[in-house]
Structure 1
Amino acid sequence: MSTSKRYRPCVLATCCLPWREDDSFAEDIFRRSVRHLIAQGIRDVYIFGTAGEGYAITDAQFDEITPIFLEETAADDVQGMVGLISLSLPTVIGRIERARDMGARRFQLSLPSWGTLRDSEMATFFRETCGRFPDCEFLHYNLMRTGRIVTGKEYGALSEQYPNLVATKNSTADEARLSSLMQDAPQLQHFITEGGFAKASTMGECGFLISFASTNLELGQAYYQAGHQGNFELLNAMHDELDIIAADLRSSVADSAHMDGAFDKMFCRLHDDAFPLRLLPPYAGITEEVYQRYVNDLQTKHPRWMPRPALS
């Protein structure tokens, strides 16, 4: 597919991490989950984002899980990306080095969040990641948890300096921010979540960062294609539908959990009954009671968004 951007237009999906009761990694469930995403047509996947608990994993877990992920995403048409979340820049650099030795060449960066980076500190961060590893590609995950949102103009300047900065992730529906991303950093592929994707699609080519629409991967990809192909009537109708689904999701879960992974593991469970809802401590996952309430609401109010086929 022809594109002027540095990363292909597509649906980008997280791969959540399943934990057993003793907090050990459930490799068999993880492999099955990654294979399911790929079999359902998702070709761009990543680990260790916020939903993938990248903030909580140890170096030992990073070294255990990364080669398994790379093995499962080794097909020619699949692009796997390794997330990097840490308060320590040397830890980020070390993880890139070790993942490179395993064969990884695509990485997802998040700014350190213990203290909001000043401009000069942000420049150092990108110099020591994108600049240090010119043979790798980097996507920047732009989220307020880090204390600052990188602007479209800042991305434009960074992308001129670093040709291997190829994409961004943004969870926003703010039109001014979306417009800046598209106009001030047009060479980057901007991945936008459900709420803002419909708006961003009217401004030009963008990627779809799938979240709660992953309950039905076929429909989630149809939403992306509607935006990518300029079918705005269908796009807006599906956007309105997804808005209602999001509101019902918030109502079902209420204040029982607050970490991204807690929600995404519910979506994983819909596709695989064996997928655990646990998060690494101290964070709390969704309880079975809340999960069943969510499933019942989805089945009753939005049955076409139930997965098909589900894994057993």
Structure 2
Amino acid sequence: MSTTKRYRSCILGTCCVPWSGTFDFEEDIFRRSVRHQIASGIHDLYIFGTAGEGYAVTDKQFDEVTRVFLEETHADGIQSMVGLISISLPTVIERIERARDMGARCFQISLPSWGVLNDAEMEVFFRETCGRFADCEFLHYNLMRTGRIITGDEYGRLAEMYPNLVATKNSTADVPRLTSLMKDAPQLQHFITEGGFPIAAMMGECGFLISYISTNFARATEFYQAGRAQNEAKLASISKDFPGLIAAFKDAVGTSAHIDGAFDKMFCRVHDPEFPLRLLPPYSGVSDTAFAHYLELLKQNHPDWLP
């Protein structure tokens, strides 16, 4: 039995934020990067996930980047989403209010991570986000950094309480977890990363959260469309390259960087040689040397995954 989803199935892409050598926002490069994704067919975009350093930006940086992002995504058929990562719920509320005043109506939230929320605290969090802003839509980013993974059954109950909870992000290939997401919260659109997307797609409609195969948007779209068509053979054929792609960026980076954005900014630079790799301090980005090694590995072993 099919269930109508609250958010469309699509490829969901992140927009990394480029910083200058003095950690000022490189607005022109950012605008160019957003436009490139849209021109490449990625029409659902978000800022300030873990790859977009949502955990690190100041309020001033949050406002500056959000304003530019909403300008670039203000077009028919383009869905923009503003991410919110903070250990302070009042800060999350204030940022929703400011972004909402700029025109944002779709937000990505994740649980505070200073301490693992118990059931009562989790209820307060969703009440003060989804419940407080009934005219907005919310995607929940379900990641282990918060110390708590929300289950499919819990999502089902939250979805009943909050009609504006529309989607989730889950980086998993665990079959029982994916089965629960699809079965116990069928009204939500679940966005799954490369490893788990073929599994979830064979269970029913889901979204694709693009990560390391964003180096080639055309092939990534082919992968997503194979999932939409439940073409298991094609999914398997494309997925066979994934272990090598993962090995390439891990081999290039080694132990020099460990934050998500360090990898994602490499994927951005594959498309734009001027995209800076640095992260907001204290976190370490990837060096130019490491990126050059990564690009060479792609050229030698995976040329089909270059733009």
TM range (shorter): over 0.9
2:206 corresponding residue in structure 1:
206
Question: Retained in 2: the 8 A contact 1:195–1:243?
Answer: no
Once the two structures are superposed, residues 6-36 of structure 1 have per-residue CA deviations (whole angstroms, 9 ceiling, x without a partner) of 0000000000000000000000000000000
Given the two structures, how large is their TM-score scaled by the length of structure 1? 0.97
2:224 corresponding residue in structure 1:
224
Give the RMSD, CA atoms, in angstroms: 1.0
Displacement of 1:252: 2.3
1:296 corresponding residue in structure 2:
296
Residue type of the partner of 1:249?
F
Residue type of the partner of 1:217?
F
1:168 corresponding residue in structure 2:
168
Gaps in structure 1 of 5+ consecutive residues = 308-312
Residue type of the partner of 2:8?
R
1:276 corresponding residue in structure 2:
276
1:29 corresponding residue in structure 2:
29
1:190 corresponding residue in structure 2:
190
Residue type of the partner of 1:21?
G
Displacement of 1:113: 0.1
Displacement of 1:245: 1.4
Confirm whether residue 100 of structure 1 aligns to residue 87 of structure 2: no
1:239 corresponding residue in structure 2:
239
SS in structure 2 of the partner of residue 63 of structure 1: helix
2-structure distance, mates of 1:63, 1:22: 18
SS in structure 2 of the partner of residue 168 of structure 1: strand
Displacement of 1:251: 2.1
Displacement of 1:246: 1.3
Once the two structures are superposed, residues 154-178 of structure 1 have per-residue CA deviations (whole angstroms, 9 ceiling, x without a partner) of 0000000000000000000100100
Residue type of the partner of 1:279?
L
Given the two structures, how large is their TM-score scaled by the length of structure 2? 0.98
Residue type of the partner of 1:131?
G
Residue type of the partner of 1:94?
E
1:124 corresponding residue in structure 2:
124
SS in structure 2 of the partner of residue 194 of structure 1: coil
Displacement of 1:3: 7.4
2-structure distance, mates of 1:3, 1:121: 30
Displacement of 1:229: 1.0
1-structure distance, mates of 2:257, 2:198: 27
1-structure distance, mates of 2:113, 2:282: 18
Moved more, 238-247 or 295-304: 238-247
1:251 corresponding residue in structure 2:
251
2:79 corresponding residue in structure 1:
79
Displacement of 1:253: 1.8
1:310 corresponding residue in structure 2:
none
1-structure distance, mates of 2:245, 2:270: 15
Gaps in structure 2 of 5+ consecutive residues = none
Residue type of the partner of 1:20?
S
2-structure distance, mates of 1:283, 1:42: 28
SS in structure 2 of the partner of residue 20 of structure 1: coil
SS in structure 1 of the partner of residue 195 of structure 2: helix
Question: Retained in 2: the 8 A contact 1:216–1:305?
Answer: yes
Displacement of 1:186: 0.4
1-structure distance, mates of 2:38, 2:227: 21
